[in-house]
Amino acid sequence: MRKALASLAFPAPCRICARILDTGSTLPFCHACMYALEQTLREPLCAQCGRPIVSAAAAEGGSVPQCHLCRSQVYAFDFARSFGAYTPRMSRAILLLKYGNVAPLGAWFARRLAGLVQRQPGSFAADVVVPVPLDHGRMRGRGYNQAELIAKPMARLLGIPFRSYLLVRTRPRPNQLRLTRRERWETVRGAYATHKTAQVDKLRVILVDDVFTTGATLDACSRALKGAGAARVAGVTVARALPLSSAPDAGLPDQDFGE
Ligand SMILES: [Zn+2]
Ligand SMILES: [Zn+2]
């Protein structure tokens, strides 16, 4: 009976795997896909950037686990965490947020990220929440910024002021969808700036984005904020790209539109 009602409410198939919907959830996803999306990253994580640490030696060495990038102080942000792994299902869900017009998805992700922030209040202590901005062309084409769709309800849940105008993207992202690691770093270097009217001095900022791929985007945004005097920058993203060997949930075609 419940199934019948649910399928009446959502006659369309699961927007991730195309199976017939078996749930009355507010999101058009089946049980299996919802379950997969709810899986959080496994510890141990790098104390600074939140990258899952796979090597036992790195996890055991020292009291605070740190990845090789953070040991060499690559990133300008102080702290970063992601909700889940960038699995094929997660990548579909994020695509639906970007292009699929699934309205409740931004709020659903926002609740997950707000929970993540609340579990580590010291590391995420902040005065403002700022979404990673799109360039003007993309913003015009799409009409909204997916990071903003997550960051705005997240800020409301946390009771922290939302400031989308603090950061601007001054150089557009190239149109090519797949970028190598090196290209990701090169295309975002110096691509962000604080808005000329923005008061950033001594601010503690939570930066919000959809995917942490190499960390280059959060790094470039953090450099702009810190260059303008920000005291602290902590990044939070829905998903984290992992090395293929450690990524669960294979079997669905992957599409990489991140960063
Ligand atoms: Zn599904
Ligand atoms: Zn790290």
pLDDT tens digits, 82-100: 999 999 999 999 999 988 7
Write out pLDDT tens, residues 49-66: 999 987 665 555 567 889
Q: pLDDT value at position 8?
A: 57
CA-nearest of 243, 258, 32 to 132 is 258
- Report every protein residue that has its C-beta within 5 angstroms of ion ligand 1: 14, 16-17, 19, 30, 33
CA–chain centroid gap for 47, Å, is 18
CA of 79 to the centre of ligand 2 (A): 9
Mean pLDDT, rounded, of the chain:
86
Other beta carbons within 10 angstroms of residue 118's beta carbon come to 11
Contacts 24+ apart (CB under 8 A), 93-98: 93/16, 93/29, 93/33, 93/37, 94/146, 94/210, 94/211, 94/238, 94/239, 94/257, 94/258, 95/255, 95/257, 96/15, 96/16, 97/146, 97/149, 97/150, 97/210, 98/142, 98/146, 98/210, 98/257
Quote the CA–CA distance of 226 and 25 in Å, as a whole number.
Answer: 41
Contacts of 79 (CB under 8 A, 6+ apart): 48, 49, 50, 123, 124, 234, 235
pLDDT of residue 184: 85
Torsion sign across C-alpha atoms 144, 164, 114, 239 = positive
Residue type, 177: L
Nearest to 124 by CA among 50, 69, 64: 50
What confidence score (pLDDT) does residue 6 get? 54
- Span 211-229, pLDDT tens digits: 999 999 999 999 999 999 9
Rounded Cα distance between 182 and 216, Å, is 10
Average pLDDT over residues 101-127: 94
Please give the distance, rounded to the nearest whole angstrom, from the Cα atom of residue 17 to the centre of ligand 1.
Answer: 4
> In this predicted model, which residue has the larger pLDDT, 258 or 204?
204
Round to whole Å and give the CA distance between 130 and 110. 13
Residue with the bigger pLDDT between 141 and 235: it is: 235
Considering only CA atoms, give the Rg of the chain: 18
What does the block give as tokens for 227? 């260059």
Q: Over the stretch 7-31, which tens digit does the pLDDT of each residue have?
A: 555 567 899 999 888 766 789 999 9
Q: What is the pLDDT of residues 153-197, one digit of tens each?
A: 999 999 999 999 899 999 887 777 778 888 888 888 889 999 988
pTM: 0.87
82 alpha carbon to ligand 1 midpoint, in Å? Answer: 22
* Residue 53 tokens, joined: 């640490």
**Residue 91 alpha carbon to ligand 1 centre in Å:** 13
- Residue 21 Cα to ligand 1 midpoint, Å, equals 7
Structure tokens at 133: 């901005």
